[in-house]
């Protein structure tokens, strides 16, 4: 059996390698120079490739110059190959025993289980190198990187959420952002904005067909994120999940949703004023700055509105880790890169300052930038808002079936928003479907 598996592996590796090389026409993905045992940073040599997407890739790229000051002989290539492509290629590469994979790869924290459960040894065991940093990291994030007592990735960023909003459009419609405390307030504001802009500017973007980000933020806020409860049962038919989906339906029924296509659709709507607000994680700040530089001063942020007056306004969306595929031939160089980017204030704060990637590495918070006003965002000290929010975020449960949950929920969302199905019924059907796909029980 084992022998057959090995032959399997190597042949599939060959296949996948060929496919990947043909697909992206990439240069050397696996160049290597051995470097074990060296203590002098300048002597560590090698060439490593990093996979990430969008702003995550750009921010990692931004740490390379400072990394190369310490380790001049490690050449780092960051490839932005798109979020879903990273996952699809990672899956096939791990299945092929590591063929064609990069030396470092970004994985969203809530997806870690998907990979570590299917490929228990596919990602390098970083325990011996990383355990000394445990005390420095946000404990909830560290827990997501630690699987069966082994550290398989290093927490990168957290995703406290906010409601990004257009100051100028709010003013034009006569809406005072300070008056918005609940989702009902926000809906009323959305109606005013829609009227004031002759229907051009909707309240917020939703990728109705493919992404349930709004639902995840709202359930996180309500403490029932995401899809499963702490016993691993499917947790979708509870009142709070129904409340979240009902709210989305209400916003949509009032004509306040801009139905967008994927990530690019959100970015486009953000740029050209199709939406007055974007509820998203702190990391969206980097995208706004990067993609809409001419809107400097016109964006600001507040916490998500509460479901009822005085209710919780803190939630989490996203947040990632960096992992090293076990098949890397440059483990030392890859580790040094990850260590510099994530386990030093220098690395983390480069990404924070330029792209709003919120460090999970807590010593980084002592830097000045966390209390300073940000010119781009209406000259407000927006980072302080997130720093204060973080401790109020309710805990969440992710499992290896998280990705399936996302797909099923997007499907339920489409049934509700575009076909008018009752939210409760849609969630019951979604729970049944998820049970069918995962063999998990549905929580009562």
Answer for which of 8, 135, 309, 384 binds another protein (CB under 8 A) is 8
The pair phi, psi for residue 324, each rounded to 5°, is: -120, 115
Is the Cβ–Cβ distance between 427 and 412 less than 8 Å? yes
Least spacing, CB of residue 210 vs another protein, in Å:
5
23 by DSSP, 3-state: which?
Answer: helix
Query: Per rule CB under 8 A, is residue 414 in the interface with another protein?
Result: yes
Q: Which is nearer to another protein, 4 or 391 (CB)?
A: 4
Least spacing, CB of residue 211 vs another protein, in Å:
10
Answer for which of 32, 95, 182, 345 binds another protein (CB under 8 A) is 95
Tell me which stretch binds another protein (CB under 8 A): 6-14, 43-51, 176-184, 223-231: 6-14
Tell me which stretch binds another protein (CB under 8 A): 177-185, 231-239, 255-263, 355-363: 255-263
Write out the DSSP string of 98-110.
TTT--SEEEEEGG
Answer for which of 123, 412, 427, 431 binds another protein (CB under 8 A) is 412
Answer for which of 36, 128, 419, 444 binds another protein (CB under 8 A) is 419
Q: Name the one residue in this structure whose structure tokens are 């700055």.
A: 289
Query: Per rule CB under 8 A, is residue 407 in the interface with another protein?
Result: yes
Least spacing, CB of residue 23 vs another protein, in Å:
13
232 by DSSP, 3-state: which?
Answer: coil
Is the Cβ–Cβ distance between 110 and 225 less than 8 Å? no
Beta pairing, strands 154-155 & 320-323: antiparallel
DSSP conformation class of 160: B
Answer for which of 27, 88, 121, 171 binds another protein (CB under 8 A) is 88
Q: How close are the terminal C-alpha atoms of the chain, in Å? A: 42
Answer for which of 10, 28, 371, 436 binds another protein (CB under 8 A) is 436
Answer for which of 415, 423, 427, 440 binds another protein (CB under 8 A) is 415
Cβ count within 10 A of residue 415: 19
H/E element holding 431? helix 423-438
The pair phi, psi for residue 178, each rounded to 5°, is: -65, -20
Query: Per rule CB under 8 A, is residue 208 in the interface with another protein?
Result: yes
Q: Which is nearer to another protein, 210 or 396 (CB)?
A: 210
Query: Per rule CB under 8 A, is residue 114 in the interface with another protein?
Result: yes
Is the Cβ–Cβ distance between 113 and 402 less than 8 Å? yes
Is the Cβ–Cβ distance between 43 and 70 less than 8 Å? no
Cβ count within 10 A of residue 239: 11
Tell me which stretch binds another protein (CB under 8 A): 90-98, 297-305, 310-318, 368-376: 90-98
DSSP conformation class of 236: -
Contact residues toward another protein (CB under 8 A) are 1, 8, 11-12, 14-15, 84, 87-88, 91-92, 94-95, 114-115, 118-119, 208-210, 258-259, 261, 403-404, 407, 410-412, 414-415, 418-419, 433, 436-437
């Amino acid at each position: 059996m084992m022998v057959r598996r090995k032959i399997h592996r190597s042949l599939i590796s060959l296949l996948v390698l060929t496919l990947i090389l043909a697909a992206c026409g990439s240069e050397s993905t696996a160049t290597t120079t051995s470097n074990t045992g060296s203590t002098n940073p300048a002597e560590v040599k090698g060439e490593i490739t990093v996979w990430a997407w969008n702003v995550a890739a750009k921010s990692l790229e931004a740490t390379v110059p400072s990394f190369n000051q310490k380790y001049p002989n490690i050449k780092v290539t960051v490839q932005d190959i798109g979020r879903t492509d990273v996952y699809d290629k990672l899956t096939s590469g791990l299945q092929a025993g590591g063929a064609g994979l990069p030396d470092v790869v970004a994985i969203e924290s809530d997806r870690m289980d998907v990979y570590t459960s299917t490929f228990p040894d596919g990602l390098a065991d970083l325990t011996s190198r990383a355990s000394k940093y445990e005390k420095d990291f946000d404990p909830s994030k560290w827990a997501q990187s630690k699987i069966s007592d082994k550290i398989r990735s290093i927490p990168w960023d957290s995703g406290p959420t906010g409601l990004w909003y257009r100051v100028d459009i709010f003013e034009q419609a006569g809406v005072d952002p300070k008056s918005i405390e609940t989702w009902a307030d926000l809906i009323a504001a959305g109606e005013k904005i829609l009227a004031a802009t002759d229907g051009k500017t909707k309240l917020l973007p939703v990728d109705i067909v493919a992404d349930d980000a709004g639902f995840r933020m709202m359930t996180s806020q309500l403490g029932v994120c995401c899809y499963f409860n702490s016993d691993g049962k499917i947790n979708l038919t509870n009142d709070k999940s129904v409340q979240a989906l009902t709210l989305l339906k209400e916003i949509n029924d009032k004509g306040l949703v801009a139905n967008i296509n994927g990530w690019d659709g959100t970015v486009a709507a953000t740029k050209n004023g199709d939406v007055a607000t974007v509820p998203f994680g702190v990391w969206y700040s980097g995208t706004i700055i990067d993609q809409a530089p001419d809107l400097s001063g016109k964006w600001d942020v507040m916490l998500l509105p509460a479901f009822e007056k005085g209710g919780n306004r803190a939630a989490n969306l996203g947040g990632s880790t960096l992992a090293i595929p076990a098949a890397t031939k440059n483990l030392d160089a890859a580790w040094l890169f990850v260590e510099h980017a994530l386990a030093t204030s220098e690395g983390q704060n480069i990404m924070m300052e330029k792209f709003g990637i919120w460090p999970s590495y807590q010593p980084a918070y002592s830097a000045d930038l966390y209390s300073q006003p940000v010119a781009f965002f209406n000259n407000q000290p927006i980072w302080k808002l997130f720093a204060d929010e973080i401790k109020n975020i309710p805990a969440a449960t992710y499992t290896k079936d998280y990705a399936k949950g996302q797909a099923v929920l997007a499907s339920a969302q489409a049934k509700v928003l575009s076909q008018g199905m009752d939210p409760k019924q849609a969630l019951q059907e979604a729970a049944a479907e998820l049970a069918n796909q995962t063999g998990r029980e549905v929580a009562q």
